[in-house]
Amino acid sequence: MRQTGPLTRSVTLRVLGRVLLAVLVFAALAYPASRMGVFEWPRAYDPLALPDLDARPNFLTDWQLRLAEVDPEGCAVALRRAGVDAHIRPDHGAGACVISGGVNLARLSRAGMRPEETRCVVAARLYLWERHVLQPAAIRIMGEPVSEILHFGSYSCRTIRGRSSMSQHSTANAFDISGFRLASGKTISLKADWAGNDAAARFLRAARDGLCDWFNVTLSPDYNADHADHFHVDMGWYRTCR
Ligand SMILES: [Zn+2]
């Protein structure tokens, strides 16, 4: 068997070093040039750009969403570019229950919903999930797309059930999803369809797993009885997927 000698290793390291240097020099020159409009850097790979919600998500998408979180107007622009009629509402509420950067959300890429005010960044994450996870899973597993997201809302000025700390719902930084209506009119609800292993149950699990990719917290009927009839997602500090 051939051993990798010290010479081969040092040559490999030198080649790798040069490739890395070339990439850094290219990025150092090309990126500022693209910001000056000399050429167009792909938005999906631009760490300072707003996320393109219709583009296939990549390693930068979550970072771009975090920038959009501190720039609600930019977040609304990203949603409007994706065809969602989103406009930032003035901050409102009182005490621990102020909604900052809220939009009235009535539809995502394809599915509609009962209009609900939620933080723009929650809306953008719901969009990414619906566009890139939920609809493909619905077509793959149920044979038809989702036409409506059924939900219990986003904003509610209250504490976490059974505790004294405020819920992420008190700033509309959370969303509760109770089920889906498919294009044929068939309804899939967490309450009726979570248990078992039929197509509807598998579809709901795919929906839950996808939410975990986009939200800091995702709680499903697997978590506790309080969540037997809905998925809770939020963008608080805590991280869990259950
Ligand atoms: Zn909730």
Measure CA 29 to chain center. Answer: 32
Beta pairing class for 112-119 and 146-153: parallel
d(CA 121, CA 175): 11
> What is the whole-number distance in angstroms between the Cα of residue 225 and the centre of ligand 1?
13
pLDDT at 146: 98
Is the pTM above the cut of 0.95? no
> What is the whole-number distance in angstroms between the Cα of residue 67 and the centre of ligand 1?
24
> What is the whole-number distance in angstroms between the Cα of residue 45 and the centre of ligand 1?
33
> What is the whole-number distance in angstroms between the Cα of residue 221 and the centre of ligand 1?
12
> What is the whole-number distance in angstroms between the Cα of residue 124 and the centre of ligand 1?
17
pLDDT at 230: 97
pLDDT at 36: 73
- Give the side-chain half-sphere CA count within 13 A for 185: 0
pLDDT at 10: 78
> What is the whole-number distance in angstroms between the Cα of residue 76 and the centre of ligand 1?
23
Q: Please identify every residue whose CB atom is under 5 Å from ligand 1, which is an ion.
A: 174, 176, 232
> What is the whole-number distance in angstroms between the Cα of residue 49 and the centre of ligand 1?
30
Give the phi and the psi of residue 53 in degrees, each rounded to 5.
-70, -20
> What is the whole-number distance in angstroms between the Cα of residue 154 and the centre of ligand 1?
7
> What is the whole-number distance in angstroms between the Cα of residue 220 and the centre of ligand 1?
10
> What is the whole-number distance in angstroms between the Cα of residue 30 and the centre of ligand 1?
44
> What is the whole-number distance in angstroms between the Cα of residue 233 and the centre of ligand 1?
6
> What is the whole-number distance in angstroms between the Cα of residue 173 and the centre of ligand 1?
10
pLDDT at 3: 56
pLDDT at 2: 55
pLDDT at 236: 92
- Per-residue pLDDT in tens (0 to 9) along the chain, 242 residues: 555 566 677 778 888 888 888 778 777 777 777 777 766 778 888 889 999 999 999 999 999 999 999 999 999 999 999 999 999 999 999 999 999 999 999 999 999 999 999 999 999 999 999 999 999 999 999 999 999 999 999 999 999 888 888 999 999 999 999 999 999 999 999 999 999 899 999 999 999 999 999 999 999 999 999 999 999 999 998 899 99
> What is the whole-number distance in angstroms between the Cα of residue 210 and the centre of ligand 1?
17
> What is the whole-number distance in angstroms between the Cα of residue 130 and the centre of ligand 1?
18
pLDDT at 231: 98
d(CA 66, CA 217): 15
> What is the whole-number distance in angstroms between the Cα of residue 200 and the centre of ligand 1?
22
pLDDT at 13: 83
pLDDT at 86: 97
